[in-house]
Structure 1
């Protein structure tokens, strides 16, 4: 079959882009022809429909008027007219693509679930029905999960959310990525769904130090004996990155520094008085308002050093404008620990990456971790599963939990045998439950 995987963007380091690449590989292995369709391609190949762009200025205006305040239009009718006109442009581009490439199945990713692209949802539904194209709708995140989409400004927006998020007709099969979403879809929309968890290629070549990345630490300003704590996710409020700052703030306290100085690190390096513990951000900054400034303020208060390196991280290794860029995988190679403090995830790509990279992980037990992942038996440093929000809107967990987590991190940084046992056991569990082979079994029943 000819299958089109569709999203607002592809070829980037966000979770949906990464998952689409995995589906593409597995579907091609199954003998299908697979195309990528998006508003932007990043560093991959595909078909562009410009109006699908994640940050298209017209769609930004629609989002603002749909969920914040209807201020750019005289009335609801004028807003509706412009949304439908824009949907028509997307429909035109998608129809042209479907006919040109003889597409049998469309796979919209988040287009019918997130609430971000109102015109896109309408357009995809129209194309499916008018051309009789089957769809496997891959829902990663839902509008009802996000505060942003909780207060539609008019009836038209409510109607779109009711009718197209997601559409309910026989041409569409629905895929979700966790048990919570499956239950919610049944409760809210009376729809049956198939759970397809995030997966990873556990048979891939192990990420390692090589001639291309050997200068990575030096490039980002780290010395050989510095400890690199990697936050690989995008920078957004729900990632609760402030918890990683709190953890590093605890690690740099005198008693913990003394413990590190009194022992060799797990790989034989010597941590000394001149060594630093640095929190490195590899992901795209996608936060609302002042979040990054608040993170910097929290870090300053706790004397935590932050490094923002997304400007040299790309979807894959490349050279841009004469500048050497690394893949996200290169960042993992040089990390000593991974922080994953998200309070909300649709599933958790970076969790799987950490398993494959064989790095110890510090994890906040977000709801989907508890329902879909924890039961598999992974050995993680836990930040608990309850939190409060302070006056700045930043997340906090009990100080005792941070202290306990820091002590566990010290053990993982200094006890080679213990560390190896933890990461090898986690790798084996990941391969057992979340591999490409397990994905192929599920997809063979959908296509």
Structure 2
């Protein structure tokens, strides 16, 4: 029986340092390694994908997170995304929704043309029908499933009802229908057992859990390229680098990380001047300029030496227009003395796994999914309980400062901790796990994929010109 398929990933954006882009890269590597042929259809490629040829990377404007139409529909349908919400009558709202459906149908036709031209067997929709950040993309993918009967796997990383900026909206009926849909003939994948429980409760579907993973077989180490990181960015080899390997968004609770670094510097003033706090990534797609100012002002009041280096971080190693080296997130982490990762909410924990693969000790808050899906694996981390005061600030015990100091100054204990975590990560969240789960997923869905292939061939005969 044939076991290889032609698979197309659909996403608003790829080739970046966000969690969705990173996971797609990993899935592509595993799927192509298993003999499948992979294509991508995205609104934007921040960087071209290195794992597949350029002729298999398609771009469609309507899929973009930042398209003119997406910004327009967000402003109309999600009033709390702007300081001055637009007032809409029900009639005007209906007209805009109808227009949106028309554009979504046009996009589905464009995608289906790519599917026909390349004999795609199955599409894997990356968060298009979980987050309304590409509304037209969500409508288009739903049409591909419901109208064109294309075999569809939905890979959900997080959901719109988990984000306050989307929970208040004017299109709840549409979101409930397509984000995500519960139509038969599709498969759903989520990244945590918690998400599986919520989705099965709300939508009455039984999703497959495939957690975030990391390629521990090709883990980053110091090499001739990333060994220039400290000197390139003005850090001394004796500086103590605390790295926050995340984007700058409120749910990452970076203010708690700043407070932690400030507390550590005050407790150990003899090394305070050597401590540098680095935030490696950018704002991403949850723009909030005021939050960046909050972090900068807090760092100043805490007397924390803050470094925002997103302009020197990329999904691939390249030179910028000034001829300067750009580093990957993993390049940054292998130069770190300690990683800090204390979100209040996270879909899983890509940044955590990256730090583990780079053999860096991690200070981590015990956020919900960490407790349900990660902690039980047996990792040895510097944990801060997810206990918040009346002002919403994480309660940081002095004991964590002592633990940090010990791990920074006891090389033997540091090696024991990071080696143990590396082996656990490799076993529980490595590519072997991902390969097994993807093989099982495609095998269980193979009958529908083959049926979709037959329907596609019939459609080409019916509409041949």
Counterpart-to-counterpart distance in 1, 2:88 and 2:70: 13
Counterpart-to-counterpart distance in 2, 1:186 and 1:88: 28
Task: Map Cα deviations across residues 245-282 of structure 1 (whole Å, 9 max, x no partner).
Answer: 011101111x4234x5xxxxxxxxxxxx8x42011111
Shift of 1:26: 0.9
Instruction: Find the partner of 1:446 among 421, 441, 447.
Output: 441
**Aligned residue for 1:221?**
234
**Aligned residue for 1:312?**
312
Counterpart-to-counterpart distance in 2, 1:41 and 1:140: 19
| Residues 139-154 of structure 1 aligned to structure 2 (within 5 Å) | 139-153=156-170
What is the aligned residue count? 422
Q: Is 2:9 the partner of 1:9?
A: no
**Aligned residue for 1:51?**
62
Q: Is 2:308 the partner of 1:296?
A: no
Counterpart-to-counterpart distance in 2, 1:214 and 1:438: 31
Task: Map Cα deviations across residues 405-444 of structure 1 (whole Å, 9 max, x no partner).
Answer: 2111101110011111100110111011111111111111
- State TM-score, norm by structure 1: 0.91
- Asked if 2 retains the 8 angstrom alpha-carbon contact of 1:202 and 1:431, the reply is yes
Instruction: Find the partner of 2:281 among 280, 283, 295.
Output: 283
Task: Map Cα deviations across residues 7-55 of structure 1 (whole Å, 9 max, x no partner).
Answer: 1100000011000111111111111101122111121242111111122
**Aligned residue for 1:120?**
137
**Aligned residue for 1:381?**
382
Instruction: Find the partner of 1:208 among 217, 221, 224.
Output: 221
- Asked if 2 retains the 8 angstrom alpha-carbon contact of 1:247 and 1:405, the reply is no
Instruction: Find the partner of 1:96 among 113, 134, 141.
Output: 113
Counterpart-to-counterpart distance in 2, 1:312 and 1:178: 31
What root-mean-square deviation, in Å, do the aligned CA atoms of Structure 1 and Structure 2 show?
1.6
Counterpart-to-counterpart distance in 2, 1:211 and 1:316: 15
Task: Map Cα deviations across residues 48-69 of structure 1 (whole Å, 9 max, x no partner).
Answer: 1111112212202212221214
Counterpart-to-counterpart distance in 2, 1:243 and 1:197: 26
- State TM-score, norm by structure 2: 0.87
**Aligned residue for 1:257?**
269
SS of equivalent residue, structure 1 residue 323: coil
Counterpart-to-counterpart distance in 2, 1:207 and 1:121: 35
Q: Which stretches of structure 1, 4 residues or longer, exceed 3 Å deviation after superposition?
A: 69-74
| Residues 57-72 of structure 1 aligned to structure 2 (within 5 Å) | 57-68=68-79, 69-71=85-87
**Aligned residue for 1:189?**
203
Counterpart-to-counterpart distance in 1, 2:389 and 2:118: 51
Counterpart-to-counterpart distance in 1, 2:32 and 2:168: 41
- Identify, as 1 or 2, the structure richer in helix: 2
Shift of 1:72: 7.3
User: Using a 3 Å threshold, how does the CA distance of structure 1 residues 406 and 57 change in structure 2: closer, same or farther?
Assistant: farther
SS of equivalent residue, structure 1 residue 40: strand
Counterpart-to-counterpart distance in 2, 1:250 and 1:151: 37
| Residues 407-422 of structure 1 aligned to structure 2 (within 5 Å) | 407-422=402-417
- Asked if 1 retains the 8 angstrom alpha-carbon contact of 2:182 and 2:204, the reply is no
Counterpart-to-counterpart distance in 2, 1:213 and 1:162: 46
Judge which range, 299-308 or 275-284, deviates more. Answer: 275-284
Counterpart-to-counterpart distance in 2, 1:90 and 1:81: 14
Judge which range, 7-16 or 160-169, deviates more. Answer: 160-169
Unaligned runs of 5+ in 2: 50-56, 80-84, 443-465
Counterpart-to-counterpart distance in 2, 1:208 and 1:431: 15
Task: Map Cα deviations across residues 92-140 of structure 1 (whole Å, 9 max, x no partner).
Answer: 3211211111111110011111132222111111122333211111011
Instruction: Find the partner of 1:430 among 406, 418, 425.
Output: 425
Counterpart-to-counterpart distance in 1, 2:248 and 2:261: 17
Counterpart-to-counterpart distance in 2, 1:184 and 1:9: 26
SS of equivalent residue, structure 1 residue 9: strand
Shift of 1:240: 0.4
SS of equivalent residue, structure 1 residue 7: strand
Task: Map Cα deviations across residues 309-343 of structure 1 (whole Å, 9 max, x no partner).
Answer: 11011111011223321222211121100010111
Counterpart-to-counterpart distance in 2, 1:214 and 1:149: 42
Instruction: Find the partner of 1:242 among 233, 240, 255.
Output: 255
Counterpart-to-counterpart distance in 2, 1:130 and 1:446: 23
| Residues 74-85 of structure 1 aligned to structure 2 (within 5 Å) | 75-85=92-102
**Aligned residue for 2:335?**
334
